[in-house]
């Protein structure tokens, strides 16, 4: 039995998309690194101390951005991953990017949940976008706190990203929200935004496939917890 060309194209399309995303991410990280090195060289050549400090600060920020972007690259492994460990490492990188400079605190609480690498990656992309939205819209770029909570009760995975800012539901949905909804759809779930006078909470929820949970239940714990 032979496959039609259209069937082969549909089968390899996701793989091609992942390769394309990986290539773009690799280039972006390299460009961040080159820009950071250029700023470092300019700082060493600067004669004005104030200019030198400004250039060093900009180089440090670019390095932090590069690390955050690197953490969002597609995982190199195909097997199961601990979502708690993955989200914890990602949020540690996000916290070192512009959040800390603007007085924002990022706190993480995550249960140990084993998922396939692709699902972990998609959850990470969603969380990163929700954290950035919370910083940009909820906290309006100022000081405040953002909480990321991941739990896997009752066979479902629930990821909440909340802030204590004064964001309102009047913000027009943009490309970021459409991306988040599309990624949630790929996970078989959805994202719900809840607004209150004291902040906003975005909640991703999707069912944890039974066969995946059974296959990874016997795996040893990683020992890493992010609280």
Q: What is the pLDDT of residue 19?
A: 56
Q: What is the pLDDT of residue 3?
A: 40
Pairing of strands 80-82, 190-196: unpaired
Choose the weakest-confidence range: 51-65, 99-113, 116-130, 152-166. 51-65
Q: Name the nearest CA neighbour of 147 among 128, 166, 161, 132.
A: 161
Q: Which of 55, 74, 93 is the last residue of a domain?
A: 74
Q: What is the pLDDT of residue 200?
A: 92
Q: How many CB atoms lie within 10 A of CB 68?
A: 24
Q: Both 18 and 99 in a single domain?
A: no
Q: Which helix (H) or strand (E) holds 153?
A: none
Does the pLDDT of residue 12 top 50, yes or no?
no
Q: What is the pLDDT of residues 105-140, one digit of tens each?
A: 999 999 999 999 999 999 999 999 999 889 888 888
Report whether 114 contacts 216 (CB < 8 A): yes
Q: Quick check: pTM over 0.85?
A: no
List the Cα angle 58/131/114 in 5-degree steps: 115
Q: Both 101 and 68 in a single domain?
A: no
Q: Name the nearest CA neighbour of 68 among 106, 103, 41, 39.
A: 106
Q: What is the residue-averaged pLDDT of the chain?
A: 78
Report whether 166 contacts 199 (CB < 8 A): yes
Q: Which of 28, 46, 74 is the last residue of a domain?
A: 74
Q: Both 110 and 126 in a single domain?
A: yes
Q: What is the pLDDT of residue 167?
A: 61
Q: Which of 53, 74, 95 is the last residue of a domain?
A: 74
Q: Both 136 and 29 in a single domain?
A: no
Q: Both 153 and 49 in a single domain?
A: no
Domain that residue 147 falls in: 80-227
Q: Both 86 and 191 in a single domain?
A: yes
CATH number at residue 109: 3.30.565.10
Q: What is the distance, to the nearest Å, from the Cα of residue 120 to the centroid of all Cα atoms in its chain?
A: 10
Q: How many domains does the chain have?
A: 2
Q: Both 57 and 117 in a single domain?
A: no
């Amino acid at each position: 039995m032979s496959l039609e060309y259209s069937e082969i194209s549909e089968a390899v399309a996701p793989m091609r998309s992942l390769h394309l995303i990986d290539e773009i991410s690799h280039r972006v990280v390299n460009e961040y690194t080159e820009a950071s090195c250029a700023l470092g060289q300019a700082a060493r050549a600067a004669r004005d101390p104030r200019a030198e400090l400004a250039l060093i600060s900009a180089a440090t920020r670019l390095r932090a951005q590069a690390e955050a972007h690197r953490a969002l690259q597609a995982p190199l492994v195909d097997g199961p991953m601990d979502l708690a460990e993955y989200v914890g490492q990602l949020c540690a990188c996000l916290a070192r990017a512009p959040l800390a400079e603007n007085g924002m605190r990022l706190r993480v609480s995550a249960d140990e949940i084993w998922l396939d690498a692709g699902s972990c990656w998609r959850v990470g992309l969603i969380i990163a976008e929700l954290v950035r939205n919370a910083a940009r819209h909820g906290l309006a770029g100022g000081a405040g706190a953002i909480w990321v909570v991941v739990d896997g009760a009752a066979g479902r995975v629930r990821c909440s990203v909340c802030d204590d800012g004064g964001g309102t539901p009047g913000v027009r949905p943009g490309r970021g929200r459409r991306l988040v909804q599309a990624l949630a759809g790929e996970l078989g779930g959805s994202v719900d935004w809840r607004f209150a006078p004291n902040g906003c909470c975005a909640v991703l929820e999707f069912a944890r496939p039974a066969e995946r949970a059974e296959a990874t239940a016997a795996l040893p714990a990683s020992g890493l917890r992010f609280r």
